[in-house]
């Protein structure tokens, strides 16, 4: 049974057929899914999905592109939601220097504040990084050195990994997993595939980031958790194992990181 560790099932693009999307995932062997939030309202939405559908879990937090109005008080509802049993992580949080929707100092404040919260609650984090690799890894390394024993070795995941091998090695050393999405199947993604082939098997996660980053052969269409097997198959080829074995490996990894039942 496979796990999609990152899919925005609460987004509007699923409004017309959400139950069918979830059923297609189950039919494809993807029996558990994690829905990450991007702000307070989507944190509530993620939790609502997790309490409505069996096999769905939530992450709560403030995305860097939603951090322009960040204030310390925002952490109140995030912390309250994080107490719920269906919440398995703080996320998605991080830095995004591509879209320029929030000043860098606000993004850093939001990230560092939520990292502190995650350590307090002993929850792993789901990290968004776009064109901010050096700043992200510097912050994460410093944070990882302060973690309680329960989080050491399972600090979180660098979601939809697309940085360099050097960043990957630093993230692994800090106790992070790496999540791989649809782009690993893209024709011109040789560099990403080369990096993925060198990542230890016990640190790999699979995710769709639906509705975005749809894998080949559905690229250009809306992504959904049912397409996880295409990512598993690509990773299996890179590591010289069967798709079934890679599926089992990534499922165990997700269960270990997020303490999934």
pLDDT, one tens digit per residue, over 44-68 is 999 999 999 999 999 999 999 999 9
**pLDDT value at residue 100:** 84
- Judge whether 60 and 37 are in contact, CB under 8 Å: yes
- pLDDT of 261 strictly over 90: no
Instruction: Give the CA count within 13 Å in the CB-facing half-sphere of 163.
Output: 24
For the chain, the C-alpha Rg in angstroms (whole number) is 17
Domain that holds residue 200: 2-258
Q: Would you call 246 exposed, middle or buried from its count of C-beta atoms within 10 A (0-12, 13-18, 19+)?
A: buried
Buried-state track 204-230, b at ≥16 Cβ within 10 A, e below 16: bbbbbbbbebbbbeeeeeebbbbbbbb
The one-character DSSP state at 147 is: -
State whether residue 1 is helix, strand or coil: coil
What residues does 158 pair with on adjacent strands? 127, 178
Model's pTM, two decimal places? 0.98
* CATH code, 83: 3.20.20.140
- Judge whether 171 and 137 are in contact, CB under 8 Å: yes
pLDDT, one tens digit per residue, over 197-254 is 999 999 999 999 999 999 999 999 999 999 999 999 999 999 999 999 999 999 999 9
Is cis: bond before 67, omega within 30 of 0?
no
pLDDT, one tens digit per residue, over 152-207 is 999 999 999 999 999 999 999 999 999 999 999 999 999 999 999 999 999 999 99
Cβ-based neighbours of 240, under 8 Å, separated by 6 or more = none
Cβ-based neighbours of 244, under 8 Å, separated by 6 or more = none
**pLDDT value at residue 6:** 98
Q: How are strands ordered across the β-sheet holding 2-4?
A: 2-4, 30-35, 56-60, 87-96, 125-130, 156-158, 176-180, 204-206
- pLDDT of 12 strictly over 90: yes
> Two tokens at 237?
């080829």
Q: What is the dihedral of CA 37, 40, 41, 44, to 10 degrees?
A: 70
What residues does 56 pair with on adjacent strands? 33
Number of domains present in the structure of the chain: 1
pLDDT, one tens digit per residue, over 70-120 is 999 999 999 999 999 999 999 999 999 999 899 999 999 999 999 999 999
């Amino acid at each position: 049974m496979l796990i999609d560790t990152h899919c925005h099932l609460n987004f509007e693009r699923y409004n017309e057929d959400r139950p069918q999307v979830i059923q297609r995932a189950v039919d494809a062997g993807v029996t558990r899914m994690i829905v990450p939030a991007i702000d307070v309202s989507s944190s509530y939405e993620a939790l609502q999905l997790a309490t409505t559908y069996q096999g769905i879990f939530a992450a709560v937090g403030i995305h860097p592109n939603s951090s322009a109005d960040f204030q310390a008080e925002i952490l109140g509802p995030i912390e309250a939601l994080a107490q719920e049993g269906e919440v398995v992580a703080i996320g998605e949080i991080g830095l995004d220097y591509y879209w320029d929707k929030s000043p860098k100092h606000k993004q850093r404040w939001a990230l560092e504040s939520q990292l502190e919260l995650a350590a307090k609650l002993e929850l792993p984090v789901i990290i968004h990084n776009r064109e901010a690799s050096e700043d992200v890894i510097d912050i994460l390394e410093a944070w990882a050195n302060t973690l309680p024993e329960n989080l050491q070795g399972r600090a979180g995941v660098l979601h939809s990994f697309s940085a360099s091998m050097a960043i990957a090695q630093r993230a692994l050393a800090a106790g992070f997993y790496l999540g791989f999405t649809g782009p690993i199947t893209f024709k011109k993604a040789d560099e990403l595939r080369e990096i993925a082939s060198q990542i230890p098997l016990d640190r790999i996660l699979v995710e769709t980031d639906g509705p975005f980053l749809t894998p080949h052969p559905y690229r250009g269409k809306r992504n959904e958790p049912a397409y996880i097997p295409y990512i598993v198959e690509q990773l299996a080829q890179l590591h010289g194992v069967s798709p079934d074995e890679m599926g089992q490996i990534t499922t165990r990894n997700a269960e270990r990181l997020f303490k999934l039942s």
